[in-house]
Structure 1
């Protein structure tokens, strides 16, 4: 083959290699997709309810779907649910709900929801060993054992979409159906002074005070009255028995 032809072949191969290398685009990390925009968040929703009522609705919504919930604080709800897609795979969905006051802290709140999906796979590992028996010669018997274990293979936040929309809709259902307290606004509370007391200026209408006597004082009064009555009776009897003198004409 002539030399120019060989040079052309090598040049073509070099161009092909450069094109192949240049065609590979670097994959951007996942965190580069976070925009941190100030617009409406798909992971948050506003409710016309207090913080405690909103978190209670979230707890009821998760319980109704088979989640195991834990509520360590009144403004936080954690829940988990297990799934078994196949015999060798296992999935755990973890929910985390945080309730904060809204623009009007009296009867508005915001629910922030985050769900994480963890994937597990069954890992099989075989171990073997051999035993030599000197009596029978150099005979080796293989001994095999299996040790299976679930290994975590993935962990991902559930992306925004219909998943969270369905959850927020179910929360709103429980807020509308479950009885809850309605706070009274400060502007609706009205106070009115009481009517002045009646002043009785007429002497005829002036009430007579009532003297309340204790049992000891009442007993002493009765004893003094009885003693006075006993002393007057002998004097009256003596006056009646005295002779009367006739008047001289």
Structure 2
């Protein structure tokens, strides 16, 4: 008798523990973050400068229909709208940050984060009353419907394949688009120019006698002859 009682008690306790485990609230996802130092699905290394990598990321988003904004050479933001049904709407916000790499000067690390925001169409009825002076205190109800898109969810996309496809497209544009080349710094040599030579004033030339007057003075007068 005691044996059967103990088995029944154990079964009851096991059932209560199972029921308590099922009724307990699930652990929030933000408490499940491990912050591990291993490979992250949100980051990828590239053998290119931060400027070239962010430009390739911008082209990758543009090629997929994202509306992009680039506040600087190291950040890219993009948005894209989806509408699965007539009453639901989804907006994907894409954020890209490019940082210098750890190994060489021409390497970079790209961090991405995509947030999916969900909206739903909510219909609400509004009623109002109007008083008619002709009929006394009679009031008639007036009903109207107003539809609005209400935000119902917002979550970071955790899929690793989603980001793998994006990084693969970034690498494609890095291989096909001409990269920027830094301008080599050349040493600039300066030399002093020689001092300009001051022009001297030429000395005045001596006055030459008139050739005609000199020739006339040498000719004999008319009617006279010169003895040989």
Same fold by TM-score, threshold 0.5 exceeded? Answer: yes
Provide the C-alpha distance between the structure 2 equivalents of 1:132 and 1:184, rounded to a whole number of angstroms: 80
Provide the C-alpha distance between the structure 2 equivalents of 1:60 and 1:41, rounded to a whole number of angstroms: 23
**Match for residue 202 of structure 1?**
none
**Match for residue 91 of structure 2?**
92
For the residue of structure 1 that corresponds to 2:78, the secondary structure is strand
**Match for residue 195 of structure 1?**
none
Provide the C-alpha distance between the structure 2 equivalents of 1:108 and 1:119, rounded to a whole number of angstroms: 36
Provide the C-alpha distance between the structure 1 equivalents of 2:16 and 2:90, rounded to a whole number of angstroms: 42
Determine whether 1:238 maps to 2:189.
Answer: no
Give the superposition deviation at 1:241.
3.4
Specify whether residues 185 and 172 from structure 1 end up closer, same or farther in structure 2 by C-alpha distance, changes over 3 A only.
farther
Determine whether 1:127 maps to 2:126.
Answer: yes
Higher normalized helix content (fraction of residues): 1
Determine whether 1:68 maps to 2:72.
Answer: no
Give the superposition deviation at 1:143.
2.8
**Match for residue 143 of structure 1?**
142
Aligned ranges 1:1-249 → 2 under 5 Å: 20-104=19-103, 106-129=105-128, 141-183=140-182, 224=205, 227-228=207-208, 230-241=209-220
Q: Is the 8 A contact 1:107 1:183 kept in 2?
A: no
Provide the C-alpha distance between the structure 2 equivalents of 1:245 and 1:137, rounded to a whole number of angstroms: 160
Provide the C-alpha distance between the structure 2 equivalents of 1:170 and 1:155, rounded to a whole number of angstroms: 26
Give the superposition deviation at 1:130.
5.6
Give the superposition deviation at 1:231.
3.4
Specify whether residues 19 and 156 from structure 1 end up closer, same or farther in structure 2 by C-alpha distance, changes over 3 A only.
closer
Give the superposition deviation at 1:25.
3.5
For the residue of structure 2 that corresponds to 1:234, the secondary structure is helix
Mean CA deviation greater in 105-114 or 56-65: 105-114
Specify whether residues 135 and 244 from structure 1 end up closer, same or farther in structure 2 by C-alpha distance, changes over 3 A only.
closer
Number of matched residues?
A: 207
Provide the C-alpha distance between the structure 2 equivalents of 1:245 and 1:152, rounded to a whole number of angstroms: 137
Calculate the aligned-residue CA RMSD, in Å.
Answer: 3.9
| TM-score after normalising by structure 1 | 0.68
**Match for residue 8 of structure 1?**
none
Consecutive unaligned residues in structure 1, runs of 5 or more: 1-10, 192-212
For the residue of structure 2 that corresponds to 1:86, the secondary structure is coil
Q: Is the 8 A contact 1:82 1:93 kept in 2?
A: yes
Q: Is the 8 A contact 2:220 2:226 kept in 1?
A: no
Tell me which stretches of 4 or more aligned residues in structure 1 moved more than 6 Å. 131-140, 242-245
Specify whether residues 138 and 123 from structure 1 end up closer, same or farther in structure 2 by C-alpha distance, changes over 3 A only.
same
Specify whether residues 94 and 246 from structure 1 end up closer, same or farther in structure 2 by C-alpha distance, changes over 3 A only.
same
Consecutive unaligned residues in structure 2, runs of 5 or more: 1-8, 188-198
List per-residue Cα deviations over 1:121-158 (Å, max 9, x = no partner). Answer: 11111123566879889987543211111111100000
